[in-house]
Structure 1
Amino acid sequence: MLILKRKPISVAPMMDWTDRHDRFFLRLISRRALLYTEMVTTGAVLHGDRQRLLGFDASEHPVAVQLGGSEPAELAEAARIAADFGYDEVNLNVGCPSDRVQSGRFGACLMREPDLVARCVEAMRSAVTIPVTVKCRIGVDEQEPEEALPAMARAVRAAGCETLIVHARKAWLEGLSPKENRDIPPLDYPLVYRLKQSMPDMEIIINGGIATLDEAAAHTAYVDGAMLGRAAYQNPWLLAEVDSRFHGESAAPRSRLEVLEAFLPYVERELAQGTHLHAMTRHILGLFQGQPGARAFRRHISENAPRPGAGIEVIREAMQKVASVPAAAAAQ
């Protein structure tokens, strides 16, 4: 198991995206980036199919689970269950703005209740020995971020949380959809930098709108790490330089085609267990973004992977679309 003491680069928990197939795939590109599950609610963990919800491949380490909830006892039990599954970290969601989390009194609406969040953190920490972290926004609705974010940070730090991940936008629970909440509220990176200055003993990870490793590196001059979201999903090759650039590893990363070759045995195992090909291939569509043949690669997979009985030949045929690109075109 590879456990990180430093986590300068991580990939955000993203609903419908960072499932176990995606995480296995991303791990073939970077050994070191910290990966997160999709948010899992405490109710689902306590009463649902735990293997389906929490099961993961050992190669995914280091991997963290994100929980959604607001009842300390339930979060403590869910955290214990997740720790027993072998996760390296448990994270509490205090940032998701969807209608679903509002009705359940968790996610971004918890920005209004830092004392409750602190009690949740305290309960979770009492139940597990792995790190308990929090991911939040800079504020919600009418809150003043200059007041709301430090208040949340102080509360969870007092409860023993050593790492706060901050999506540097306010969340608007009324008037904006979850999708709009990812883009429309303005980013305020300097506020997060100031938080780190005022709380130097707390690990602060910044999230929101980070599109390149250059941007991530620029943030780490002010905070402890950067969390990539949609950029890392839509262009997963973005992670290929994480190990060398942020962890000093000298080994060359796999090529894109080598990543797919390494992915194929996993796909075969999953197909044999009844997983549909499309459930896995939807995560690899952006691997060749910006490369010659990328459009043909995406089209072939998109058109053929959803078909009944589709197997790994779909991936191999798509690989030929990029492998057969003339050398002159590939060099452009």
Structure 2
Amino acid sequence: TELRLVGGPSRCRGRLEVLHSGSWGSVCDDDWDVVDANVVCRQLGCGLALPVPRPLAFGQGWGPILLDNVECHGQEAALSECGSRGWGVHNCFHYEDVAVLCDGEQRPESCEGSVRLVGGTGPCQGRVEILHGGLWGTVCDDDWGLPDAAVVCRQLGCGTALAATTNAFFGYGTGHIMLDNVHCEGSEPRLAACQSLGWGVHNCGHHEDAGALCAGAGHLRLSSGAHRCEGRVELFLGQRWGTVCDDAWDLRAAGVLCRQLGCGEALAAPGEAHFGPGRGPILLDNVKCRGDESILLLCSHIRWDAHNCDHSEDASVLCRLS
């Protein structure tokens, strides 16, 4: 089960939300204590839990309340291993949403082998950079693949890896290229524990900088349709939901999205807010897919904060329900 802390100053402090059956929801504070919070902090790679904050420290959530009466013993590797009343069973309201404070973000970014993702819209996507000898440097994309990205995502507490990017997908880095020919099995706790040519040994340029897209970086949903496989395209980035502009939107892009959502074949790619105008930011514009991409975020597009659209141009898809 994926977790996130939202509404706080960092990824290690905020209102607790869990992902279940494609929907994010909150956790009720009945029986919640620091033992339960410690499991969350450990799962997120955020160190130890601080005392449970006051109610509504990071505001109320919205959507489903997914867990209630959570009871952890403390040694669990994930919150989903703890006891509870079961998914969606509760007697709560959102003013009882759990918040968590971990000490992870108070630790300085000075630990040898620390990693970060740079150039994306948040801490869970971007160019991979690793700290060695007090300097940040990049990783070459030779042999870079999903198991390597999975180690980075887990080390950052960003969930599972959606994609491993190459060819400086998130822009060119600067300075040293720290690692090349990285080979991870996928179970390593840190990227520095994976095989490589050694620190600073490479035959690359920054046009080969490796990157990662983690599950904490981008979730998709289709809104306002008659079923889960049709509707207005909405993307979750930077702790907010936003829409996609219909400039250049076509059936190839719709096909990538339908496949990513497990909805089979794309039947149509209507624009002009076919399912009504959305709200919030417009997060993508001029999306152009070849059609063979594994996820929509691997298609080309102009930079994240640039568009010339309004919500009357929101993109939509109709997929074959499967």
Common topology (TM > 0.5): no
Higher relative contact order (CA 8 A, sep 6+): 1
TM-score (norm 1): 0.26
